[in-house]
Structure 1
Amino acid sequence: MDQEIIERALEVDHDGFSVSVDVERERADIVLERPPLNVISMPQREQLRAVFEALDAHEGVRVIVLRAVGEHFSSGGNIRGFLEASAEHVSKLADNVAAPERCSKPVIAVNHGYCFGVGFELSLACDFRVVGESCRYALPEQNLGQIPGSGGSARLQKMIGIARTKHMVMRSKRISGATALDWGIAVECVPDAELETATDALVDELRRFSPLAQRTAKRLINDGENSPLSVAIEMEGHCYARLRTSDDFREGVEAFGEKRKANFRGS
């Protein structure tokens, strides 16, 4: 994707969110900005997909952060929008929400307050979830006579198992940030006042690794999740062999031997 096209995609007015890129810190932030509940509209989902694709192609971005302003991350989607949307439009919802998962770069979701419905589904499609103590996760679609429609129950079952997924989906139960950490949904649970510090630390940690090795690991782990063990091991071997020929691997080995910090370039 041409860099000028990327910049144009990021500079347009977005529905309910903003985008900022800090090239010096190699970081991009996608910020939900429809407080207090940050309801996610139908057009917003498509725009979020386009932005993730643009940031994936952005040469100055190593890590992407999805976060929100206000009291809550997101209470979910615009309910009436489901009745008004065409069947063809609704059929694309899961593909749009999967954009963070398809992105080759690490994506961090920072969750606080309500994180319900599509807000939770978007977060589940990210690589890491850092949560505040105020965070409450839920898939409440049963209250509307529906089920999650953008991968929520499927991704959740992979993470926490069938019994806990039925508890959350079939009973529309909420869980706390602390429980999410205990169940393996979140990687960190901190007081809300420490969310920014915890996120900054994780961004800087991810930036110090080889971008080539990070991309390879993300793709390998995602593909391996849906593969038999023998196939996953075979894929890992091929990826390992390919990385052995990279400049980054040579730099990592030399830096280790010279007891210095590696300077990875992504090649």
Structure 2
Amino acid sequence: MTPNEIDQYLASDFDGFKVELHTDQERGDIILGRPPYNVIAMSQREDLRQVFEALDAHPDVRVIVLRAEGQHFSSGGDIRGFLEASPEHVSKLAWNVAAAERCSKPVIVANRGYTFGVGFELSLACDFRIASETARYALPEQNLGQIPGSGGSARLQKMIGITRTKHMVMRAKRVSGAQALDWGFVTECVPDTELESATDALVEELRRFSPLAQRTAKKLINDNEDSPLKVAIEMEGHCYSRLRSSADFKEGVEAFHAKRPAVFRGE
């Protein structure tokens, strides 16, 4: 799509969420908008994937933010939708939820209140999770005779290990924002009144860096998740070598020596 077509698409009426573009801040926000619990419908997952991809392609967006209206991020998916969905549709759920992870740009999610089921899985696919002290994380599928189906247990185990993942998945236990920070699966935990300001601050922090270096770092870290150490170090070296010839690296070095802020252009 052209930039104009992307803008027109993002201005569409979406079921269960909306998109706000703040190009003066180089950010695009996806806002879950079905309060109080922001239940995520089956069809909504495909729409969310497409919106993440459109924001990733938007030339004036540097950082993507996923947040929600009201006191809860999301209580999870529409339970009845699972029974009505075709096997083909269900087979795509994990791919749609992983859209934030596939974005080349950094993705921040702001969680408050219930962050359950697919709401939690969407959050785990983001790069940075900022939790309010009111946040409660859970994968409650055992209560339905099911397991997480969109990467929840798999991503969580990579982050917090097998014992704590079994605690959350097999016992459907809730974990507070403070505990999530202690366990290492959120980036920050802040008072509820500071969730928006903490998110804004992280957006501004990420905007200071080279877009090219940010994209490279995200892809490298994601690709190295399952790599042996020697392979990961080799990949890191290749990426480092390529960035040395970039205009952003030249600008960064010159700005450092001139003791001035760098102006990165992603080139």
Match of 2:112 in 1: 112
Task: Show the counterpart of 1:59.
Answer: 59
Task: Give the aligned partner of residue 122 of structure 1.
Answer: 122
Report what 2:139 is aligned to.
Answer: 139
Counterpart Cα distance in 1 of 2:104 and 2:174: 31
User: What's the counterpart of residue 202 of structure 1?
Assistant: 202
Corresponding residue number in structure 2 for 1:26: 26
Query: 3-state SS of the aligned residue for 1:24?
Result: helix
CA distance in 2, matches of 1:199, 1:10: 21
The C-alpha deviation readout for 1:61-83, integer Å capped at 9, x for no partner, is 00011000111000000000000
Distance 1:199 1:89 in 2: 33
Local SS of the residue matching 1:34: coil
CA RMSD of aligned residues (A): 0.6
Q: Distance in 1 between matches of 2:76 and 2:13?
A: 21
Q: CA deviation at 1:5?
A: 2.4
CA distance in 2, matches of 1:232, 1:9: 38
Q: Deviation string for 1:175-222 (max 9, x for gaps)?
A: 000000001111111111011111111000000000000000000000
Which residue of 1 is the match for residue 215 of structure 2?
Answer: 215
- Mapped partners of 1:8, 1:172: distance in 2: 41
Question: What is residue 38 of structure 1 aligned with on the other side?
Answer: 38
TM-score by length of 1: 0.99
Q: Are the aligned partners of 1:108 and 1:127 in contact in 2 as well (CA < 8 Å)? A: yes
Deviation at 1:248, TM superposition (A): 0.1
Which AA in structure 1 matches 2:141?
A: E
User: Which structure 2 segments of 5+ residues have no match?
Assistant: none
Counterpart amino acid of residue 122 in structure 1: L
Task: Say yes or no: does 1:83 pair with 2:110.
Answer: no
- Name the CA distance, whole Å, in 1 between partners of 2:2 and 2:46: 20
Residues 119-167 of structure 1 deviation map (CA, whole Å, 9 limit, x = unaligned)? 0000000000001000000000000000000000000000000000000
Query: Residue 165 of structure 2 aligns with which residue?
Result: 165
Offset, 1:251: 0.1
Aligned mates of 1:20, 1:45 — CA distance in 2 = 18
Q: CA deviation at 1:228?
A: 1.1
Q: Is the 8 A contact 1:9 1:50 kept in 2?
A: no
Q: Distance in 2 between matches of 1:148 and 1:135?
A: 19
Question: 1:8 offset after TM fit, Å?
Answer: 2.5
Question: How many residue pairs align between the two structures?
Answer: 267
Query: Where do 5+ consecutive residues of structure 1 fail to align?
Result: none
Letter in 2 for 1:66: L
Distance in 2, Cα, partners of 1:83 & 1:165 = 26
- Structure 2 CA distance, aligned partners of 1:9 and 1:241? 38
CA distance in 1, matches of 2:150, 2:250: 41
Q: CA deviation at 1:2?
A: 1.7
Residue of structure 2 in register with 1:5 after alignment: 5
How far apart in 1 are the matches of 2:148 and 2:140? Answer: 8
Q: Tell me what 1:174 maps to.
A: 174
Q: 1:98 aligns to what? A: 98
CA distance in 1, matches of 2:2, 2:45: 23
Identity value in percent: 76
Residue 241 of structure 1 pairs with residue 230 of structure 2: no
